Amino acid sequence: MRRRTLLASSAALAAAPLLPARAAGKTTIVWWHAMTAQLNDEVNRIADSFNKSQDEIEVQPVYKGGYADTLTATIAAVRAGQAPHLVQIFEVGTGTMLTAGKAVKQVWELSKETGVKLDPAAYIPAVRGYYSLSDGRMASMPFNSSTAVMWYNKDAFRKAGLDPAKPPATWPEVEAAARAIKEKSAAEIPMTTSWPVWIQLEQYAALHNLPYATKENGFAGLDTQLEIAAKPMVKQVQRLLDMAKEGTFRYAGRDNAPDPLLLSGQAGIHFNSSGMRGALVKSAKYDWGVAYLPYDPSLIKEPLNSIIGGASLWTMTAPNRTPAEYKAAATFLAYLGKPETDAAWHQATGYVPVTLAGFELSKTQGFYEKNPGADLPVKQLARGHVTPNSKGLRLGRLPEIRNIIQEELEKALQGGQSAQQAMDAATTRGNKVLRDFQKSVKA
Amino acid sequence: MDRRTIFGGQLLPALLVLPQLVLTLFFFYWPAAEAVWSSMTTTDPFGQGSVFVGLENFAELFSDPLYLQAILRTVGFCLAVSVLAMAVALLLAVFADREIRGRAIYRTLLIWPYAVAPALSAVLFLFLLNPQVGLIGRWLNRHGIPWDYHLDGGQALLMVVLASAWKQVSYNFIFYLAGLQSIPRAVVEAARMDGARGWRRFRTITLPLLAPTTFFLLVVNLVYAAFDTFGTIYAITKGGPGQATETLVIKVYRDGMINQDIGGSSAQSVVLMLGVIVVTAVQFRFMGRRTSA
């Protein structure tokens, strides 16, 4: 008897996920995301407050692993015809998602079909641009965006005889500061960087209005080629190599592996996402500051906007999905774009506000007076006019290309090749990836 | 010599092996067939269109110098891990086989690491060898020995070899200990009477008698090093710096799961599958010959 109950209940359990996404007359929206720890709590809080704000739609956030795992899971789900309604995809997956064809419903399409207003003009241009088609129609909904900034140890600056209120603004100033830190032994590691390719090359190109790839960084077509072996880019790599040789720059690993060096106070200058603020507030036991990414005055007088990192939300399609479900998804996306939602998310997480109104609201709420420097990433994103070079990158398999460049960079830092050789090799290997991608998409 | 239980009829034996056959069919043959099929196609990530390209993916693979380097690197890595793990295990087994106090405790402790998950063993080694936070890593740098596996490919390789071998020592230890215990005392005593001592006795008596164990362990270790070290390597170096620690399995994962190059990644899996088939066939052949002899 007991065994029979067990069998019956396990059968019921197995059948449960197959039940139509509908509970008590509500439309259920499944939202896959990649947010952990405190960010996960915030995602749940947003879903909760949305669910409480009305009684027709129920949003269910589901954590699906890291960004790459979430993308892989999404692809598998699409192939099985069971994609969730909404999914959070990192910015470098945008190029791949744009080739998803009927598997996704782009924002402009969703808005048109459901009649829910999702206005691109409400979003900060540098954010919106990354997720839009070249004609300005939005493909995915900006959600968590950050940008790269320079963090520095004010105590180390003081010890090195530098003015902690005046962080270096240009690369020559950064080099001088790092040298001073090294000479006075003000910090164990004068300078390091997380996400070397994203920050030291992709951001660098945007800031200096340099093309990263042909065809408007890939926005204008799949037949794009990397342009990272151009002189100004090689110059930047050479600078890092020189600084490493001099002992003023320490390469400390891929992705965000070097972060602990700043948190522990071992690093004088560190480059990382603006999203690091929360971690610093929580665990840095010294006086730290945030500054704009440095620029090279010989290349540009006024640096352009930096580009974003982070992720956006894609609306997925599935067989048997009803118009009501799309409408519910669109309603939730519209809710995310409300200034109150956006400002609360920004203030709780350290991501930048993605809407202009969310930024304004944070200002009027006095958030930046209480948290000096928290608006610097937004200002850096919003300065100047977005050019084709500062709109972001639209390259297929960008994670792979980043990895290739990182590998070649590492080989150069080991002394195995020159800066020019590294960028040439990365270009050749990267272009092959771009051609493979082009071929697979045309298939 | 062999004792065998013979089942009568056809139905019962078939029924008894059926579950295993079904499992093999669903969890091996089906995915393997899918892999072979997709290794001959080019497809977009979402699988909306796929084109049959024959052996093009393989041709591309073998014309890629980086792939050939990865093969060599993997072979070197597997040999290093296997030899290190087996040598250390043999040494420990020889010592643990002696009459010493607290033998059981030593043996239990030596078997422990086998239960440690790959990612955790990676973390243990990070705590030891990370240049900034690791005990040994810091010590080395403080004493003027530049240690930084983030940048030095050789050091990175050394580190993943150590971490991978460490985990496998326990397994080898169990087998070597059992092997040592099954060596007839009489043979050892006879050698002793003939005046063979220490190293000589070990080399001429113990080692040859352990040969079957060694051969079995070599195959198991090679397969372990080739496939089960993914977690350890990925957690320590992610394949870097450069591609210094990118073994074939890491490459399959990177190309398939991260880069979404399904065709190319499947072709690599098929190559790996062929490798395993060859190794297994060799093992069966030699092991089979031994038992029939």
Q: Is residue A14 in a domain?
A: no
pLDDT single digits (tens) A133-162: 888 899 999 999 999 999 999 999 999 999
Q: Is residue A106 in a domain?
A: yes
Cβ neighbourhood burial of A227 (10 Å; 0-12, 13-18, 19+): middle
User: Which domain CATH number covers A52?
Assistant: 3.40.190.10
Output the CATH code of domain B57-292: 1.10.3720.10
Judging contacts by C-beta atoms under 8 Å, the chain B residues touching residue A397 are 259-261
Question: With an 8 Å Cβ cutoff, are A397 and B51 in contact?
Answer: no
User: Domain span at residue A356?
Assistant: 21-145+308-370
Tell me what pLDDT residue A12 has. Answer: 44
Residue of A414, A417, A433 to mutate, testing the B interface (most B Cβ within 10 Å of its Cβ): A414
Quick one: pLDDT band at residue B269, thresholds 50, 70, 90?
Answer: very high
Nearest chain A Cα to B49, which residue? A443
Q: What's the mean pLDDT when you consider all of chain A?
A: 90
- Nearest C-alpha of chain A: how many angstroms from B36? 18
Cβ neighbourhood burial of B182 (10 Å; 0-12, 13-18, 19+): exposed
Claim to verify: residue A403 and residue A363 sit in the same structural domain: no
Residue type at position B15: L
Distances (CA, A) of A90 to A175, A333, B95: 32, 17, 54
Claim to verify: residue A177 and residue A30 sit in the same structural domain: no
Cβ neighbourhood burial of B124 (10 Å; 0-12, 13-18, 19+): middle
Residue of B132, B254, B257, B268 to mutate, testing the A interface (most A Cβ within 10 Å of its Cβ): B132
Number of domains in chain A: 2
Q: Which helix (H) or strand (E) holds B273?
A: helix B262-292
Q: Where are the alpha helices (DSSP H) in B102-152?
A: 103-111, 118-129, 135-142
Claim to verify: residue A28 and residue A67 sit in the same structural domain: yes
Is A312 in contact with A92 (CB distance < 8 Å)? no
Nearest chain B Cα to A411, which residue? B242
Residue B3, pLDDT > 80, answer no
Q: Determine contact: B63 vs chain A, CB below 8 A.
A: no
Residue B4, pLDDT > 80, answer no
Claim to verify: residue A337 and residue A232 sit in the same structural domain: no
Claim to verify: residue A244 and residue A98 sit in the same structural domain: no
Judging contacts by C-beta atoms under 8 Å, the chain B residues touching residue A407 are 240-243
Quick one: pLDDT band at residue B204, thresholds 50, 70, 90?
Answer: confident
Judging contacts by C-beta atoms under 8 Å, the chain A residues touching residue B43 are 440, 443
Claim to verify: residue A192 and residue A226 sit in the same structural domain: yes
Residue type at position B137: G
Question: Is ipTM beyond 0.85?
Answer: no
Nearest chain A Cα to B234, which residue? A254
- Nearest C-alpha of chain A: how many angstroms from B257? 6
Give the rounded percent of residues in chain B with a pLDDT score beyond 90: 36
Question: With an 8 Å Cβ cutoff, are A443 and B240 in contact?
Answer: no
Pairing of strands A189-193, A267-273: parallel
The pTM of the full predicted model, rounded to 2 decimals, is: 0.80
Q: Determine contact: B9 vs chain A, CB below 8 A.
A: no
Tell me what pLDDT residue B282 has. Answer: 84
d(CA A170, CA A180): 15
Comparing B260 with A309, the larger pLDDT belongs to A309
Claim to verify: residue A153 and residue A30 sit in the same structural domain: no
Quick one: pLDDT band at residue B132, thresholds 50, 70, 90?
Answer: confident
Tell me what pLDDT residue A14 has. Answer: 45
Residue of B42, B45, B243 with shortest CB distance to A96: B45
Residue of A101, A260, A407 with shortest CB distance to B240: A407
Claim to verify: residue A200 and residue A275 sit in the same structural domain: yes
Judging contacts by C-beta atoms under 8 Å, the chain B residues touching residue A436 are 261, 264
d(CA B249, CA B265): 10
Q: Is residue A47 in a domain?
A: yes
Nearest chain B Cα to A436, which residue? B261
Tell me what pLDDT residue B289 has. Answer: 59
- Between chain A and chain B, the number of residue pairs with CB atoms below 8 A apart is 92
Claim to verify: residue A181 and residue A241 sit in the same structural domain: yes
Q: Which residue has the tokens 């029979």?
A: A4
Claim to verify: residue A218 and residue A71 sit in the same structural domain: no
* pLDDT per residue rounded down to tens, chain A (443 residues): 344 444 444 444 444 444 444 455 789 999 999 988 778 999 999 999 999 999 899 999 999 988 888 998 998 899 888 999 999 999 988 988 988 888 999 999 999 999 999 999 999 988 998 999 888 899 999 999 999 999 999 999 999 999 999 999 999 999 999 999 999 999 999 999 999 999 999 999 999 999 999 999 998 889 999 999 999 999 999 999 999 999 999 998 888 888 888 999 999 999 999 988 888 888 889 999 999 999 999 999 999 999 999 999 999 999 889 999 999 999 999 999 999 999 999 998 889 999 999 999 999 999 999 988 899 999 999 888 889 999 899 998 888 899 899 999 999 998 889 999 999 999 999 999 999 888 887 76
B 217-276: CB under 8 A from A: 238, 240-243, 254-255, 257-261, 263-264
Tokens in use for A79?
């192939």
Domain boundaries, given as residue ranges, for chain B: 57-292
Claim to verify: residue A314 and residue A204 sit in the same structural domain: no
d(CA A149, CA A306): 9
Distances (CA, A) of B52 to A94, B37, B43, B56, B57: 27, 9, 9, 9, 10
Residue of A68, A253, A440 with shortest CB distance to B43: A440
Tokens in use for A103?
């598997």
Claim to verify: residue A70 and residue A82 sit in the same structural domain: yes
Tell me what pLDDT residue B259 has. Answer: 80
Residue B12, pLDDT > 90, answer no
Q: Where are the alpha helices (DSSP H) in A191-255?
A: 196-197, 204-207, 214-217, 231-246
Q: Is residue A178 in a domain?
A: yes
Quick one: pLDDT band at residue B287, thresholds 50, 70, 90?
Answer: confident
- Count Cα atoms within 13 angstroms, Cβ side, for A153: 28
